[in-house]
């Protein structure tokens, strides 16, 4: 009797998979809002890429998921599409004790004083990018931020800063990332790689480019292991080489390679996109622009931090996160989610809830300066729980440093009258036209503040 009366899956649209897929790709916000209005805060979907999954729109339910047993709700299988690119030892694909070990080994490189040590690298990379901008001519903020964040990754994460080695690694990485940066590119590519589709020129080119990047990474790992001054280096790469777990074991070469590529793929394009959105929104909102410039001139960084959080709320780069039910069914909101099915808290939809964010479409950094700011279940651009993004602090810190430096030295103007449209590109949501901007006049000289900042 109990089994016969118990609910199983939540309701969802009866549309064919093709139409649901188009809803996800063409107009996800409108599609999700319509489904939530009709079916509630837990909805069952089907697409061409997934025979069935559950999307969650309620922060209370998100809390249950993030605080759930990580052995029952696994994130690794939800990210397995990226496995052929990142590698099987990536922290994104691991679960259980293996995931916790890798996470503990990586965490020290992204917190505390270590994070502050990257500030000079970020500021200098911003200066180089500003000095490359044409005066009076439109250019894409997205493309510029991609160049900037890759430069930061090369220097702060890989620890390679000058000379032929820097140029060669930079070139090979850019070649490997190009197909991933295209609309639907990462989906088509990873599906082909995962299914071992051979003969396709796109797959063959990518595998050769990945091999060329790996060749340099493994060579650099060998160099670092034999470097007598390794402990004096501050880059993430060296930190991973030196890291030891509680049993005194260090990462293998493959683990280091996979984590470096994970940081590259997960941290480069995403931060670049977030920065492009930041400038696109800022240049279309005079009130926020003036307040941010005033606060920064007064040495107040709190408003800048709040602005970064609000950008990630209103324009989350990743629209959702996933957990796959493992071992036994998961009870959620009166429904029973079967083993093997994925549950997706919708970041974008949760960030648009009027009960959490009054006037959710408006850019209001002040939301994060109030006595009761959004919590870790209503603001989730980096996921949550034990799977919260390791690079969250690095990304938000980099955004604040870059934005502050640009406002200090440059006068940017919006090219279009309205903010750029949102386009889904693989697993990210990017400015459709690259967030075009214009440099109104030659950059100002940087203030001599490096010594004080250090």
Q: What is the pLDDT of residues 153-178, one digit of tens each?
A: 999 999 988 889 899 998 988 888 87
Q: Looking at the domain assignment, is residue 65 inside a domain?
A: no
| Cβ–Cβ < 8 Å for 172, 216 | yes
Q: What is the pLDDT of residues 25-44, one digit of tens each?
A: 788 888 999 999 999 999 99
The angle formed by the CA atoms of residues 380, 358 and 31, to the nearest 5 degrees, is: 65
Angstrom distance (rounded) from CA 340 to CA 343: 10
Query: What kind and span of H or E run contains 323?
Result: strand 323-325
Residues 6+ apart with CB under 8 A from 331: 337
Q: Looking at the domain assignment, is residue 83 inside a domain?
A: yes
Q: Looking at the domain assignment, is residue 207 inside a domain?
A: yes
* Average pLDDT of the chain, as a whole number: 90
Token pair of 40, please?
Answer: 């509630």
Closest by Cα among 150, 152, 159, 175 to 217: 159
Q: Which CATH number do you get for residue 235?
A: 1.10.630.10
Which neighbouring-strand residues pair with 331? Answer: 336
Say what the pLDDT of residue 38 is: 95
Q: Looking at the domain assignment, is residue 354 inside a domain?
A: no
Q: Looking at the domain assignment, is residue 46 inside a domain?
A: no
| Cβ–Cβ < 8 Å for 92, 264 | no
Say what the pLDDT of residue 187 is: 57
Say what the pLDDT of residue 188 is: 54
Q: What is the pLDDT of residues 394-416, one digit of tens each?
A: 999 999 999 999 999 999 999 99
Strand pairing report for 138-140 and 323-325: unpaired
Query: What kind and span of H or E run contains 205?
Result: helix 201-225
Token pair of 295, please?
Answer: 């606060």
C-alpha 323: how far from its chain's center?
17
Residues shown for the chain: 454
Say what the pLDDT of residue 1 is: 35
Q: What is the pLDDT of residues 241-286, one digit of tens each?
A: 999 999 999 999 999 999 999 998 888 889 999 999 999 999 999 9
Give the number of C-alpha atoms closer than 13 A to the C-alpha of residue 72, restricted to the C-beta side: 13
- Give Dmax (Cα) for the chain: 76
Q: Looking at the domain assignment, is residue 12 inside a domain?
A: no
The angle formed by the CA atoms of residues 186, 79 and 378, to the nearest 5 degrees, is: 105
Cα→Cα distances 107→50, 115, 194, 236, 398, Å: 32, 11, 29, 10, 17
Counting residues of the chain whose pLDDT is more than 90, the rounded percentage is 73
Residues 6+ apart with CB under 8 A from 205: 179
More confident residue, 203 or 172: 172
Q: Beta-carbon neighbour count of residue 182 at 10 Å?
A: 13
Band of residue 454 on the pLDDT scale cut at 50, 70, 90: very low
Band of residue 2 on the pLDDT scale cut at 50, 70, 90: very low
Q: What is the pLDDT of residues 331-346, one digit of tens each?
A: 999 999 999 999 999 9
CB-neighbour burial class of residue 27 (10 A; exposed 0-12, middle 13-18, buried 19+): middle
Domain count, the chain: 1
Q: Beta-carbon neighbour count of residue 119 at 10 Å?
A: 17
Q: What is the pLDDT of residues 175-196, one digit of tens each?
A: 888 766 665 555 555 555 555 5
Say what the pLDDT of residue 4 is: 38
Cα→Cα distances 111→85, 181, 249, 263, 304, Å: 26, 28, 22, 15, 19
| Cβ–Cβ < 8 Å for 148, 185 | no
Q: Looking at the domain assignment, is residue 269 inside a domain?
A: yes
Q: What is the mean pLDDT of residues 137-147?
A: 96
The CA dihedral of 317, 320, 324, 329, to the nearest 10 degrees, is 160
Q: What is the mean pLDDT of residues 216-244?
A: 93
Range of the domain at 116: 77-333+386-453
Q: What is the mean pLDDT of residues 352-377?
A: 95
Say what the pLDDT of residue 424 is: 82
pLDDT tops 80 at residue 370 = yes
Cα→Cα distances 279→59, 143, 404, Å: 28, 13, 11
343 — phi, psi (to 5°)? Answer: -110, 130
DSSP per-residue letters across 324-378? EE-SS-EEETTEEEPTT-EEEEBHHHHTT-TTTSSSTTS--GGGGGSSS---TTT
Q: Looking at the domain assignment, is residue 201 inside a domain?
A: yes
């Amino acid at each position: 009797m109990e089994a016969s009366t118990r609910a199983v899956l939540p309701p969802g649209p009866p549309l064919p998979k093709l139409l649901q897929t188009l809803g996800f790709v063409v107009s996800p916000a409108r599609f999700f809002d319509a489904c939530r209005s009709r079916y509630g805060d837990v909805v069952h979907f089907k697409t061409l890429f997934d025979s069935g999954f559950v999307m969650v729109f309620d922060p209370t339910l998100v809390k249950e998921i993030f605080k759930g047993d990580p052995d029952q709700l696994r994130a690794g299988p939800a990210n397995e599409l990226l496995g052929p690119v990142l590698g099987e030892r990536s922290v994104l694909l691991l679960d259980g004790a293996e995931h916790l070990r890798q996470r503990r080994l990586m965490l020290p490189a992204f917190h505390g004083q270590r994070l502050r040590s990257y500030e000079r690298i970020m500021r200098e990379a911003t200066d180089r990018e500003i000095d490359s901008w044409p005066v009076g001519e439109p250019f894409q903020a997205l493309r510029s931020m991609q160049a900037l964040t890759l430069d930061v990754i090369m220097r702060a994460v890989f620890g390679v800063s000058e000379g032929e080695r820097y140029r060669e690694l930079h070139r090979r990485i850019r070649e490997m990332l190009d197909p991933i940066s295209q609309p639907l590119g990462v989906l088509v590519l990873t599906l082909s790689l995962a299914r071992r589709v051979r003969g396709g020129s796109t797959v063959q080119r990518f595998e050769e480019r990945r091999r060329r990047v790996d060749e340099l990474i493994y060579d650099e790992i060998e160099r670092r292991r034999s470097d007598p001054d390794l402990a004096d280096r501050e880059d993430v790469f060296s930190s991973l080489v030196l890291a030891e777990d509680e049993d005194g074991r260090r990462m293998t070469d493959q683990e280091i390679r996979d984590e470096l590529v994970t940081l590259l793929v997960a941290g480069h394009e995403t931060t670049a996109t977030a920065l492009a959105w930041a400038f696109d929104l800022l240049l279309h909102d005079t009130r926020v622009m003036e307040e941010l410039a005033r606060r920064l001139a007064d040495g107040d960084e709190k408003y800048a931090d709040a602005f970064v959080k609000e950008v990630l709320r209103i324009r989350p780069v990743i629209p959702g996160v996933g957990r796959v039910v493992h071992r036994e069914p998961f009870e959620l909101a009166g429904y029973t989610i079967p083993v093997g099915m994925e549950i997706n808290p919708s970041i974008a939809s949760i960030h648009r809830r009027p009960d959490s964010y009054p006037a959710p479409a408006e850019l209001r950094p002040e939301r994060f300066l109030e006595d009761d700011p959004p919590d870790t279940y209503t603001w989730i651009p980096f996921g949550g729980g034990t799977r919260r993004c390791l690079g969250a602090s690095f990304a938000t810190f980099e955004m604040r440093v870059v934005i502050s430096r640009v406002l200090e030295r440059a006068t940017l103007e919006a090219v279009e009258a309205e903010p750029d449209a949102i386009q889904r590109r693989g697993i990210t949501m990017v400015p459709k036209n690259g967030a075009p901007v214009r440099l109104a006049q030659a950059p100002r000289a940087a203030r001599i503040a490096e010594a004080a900042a250090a």
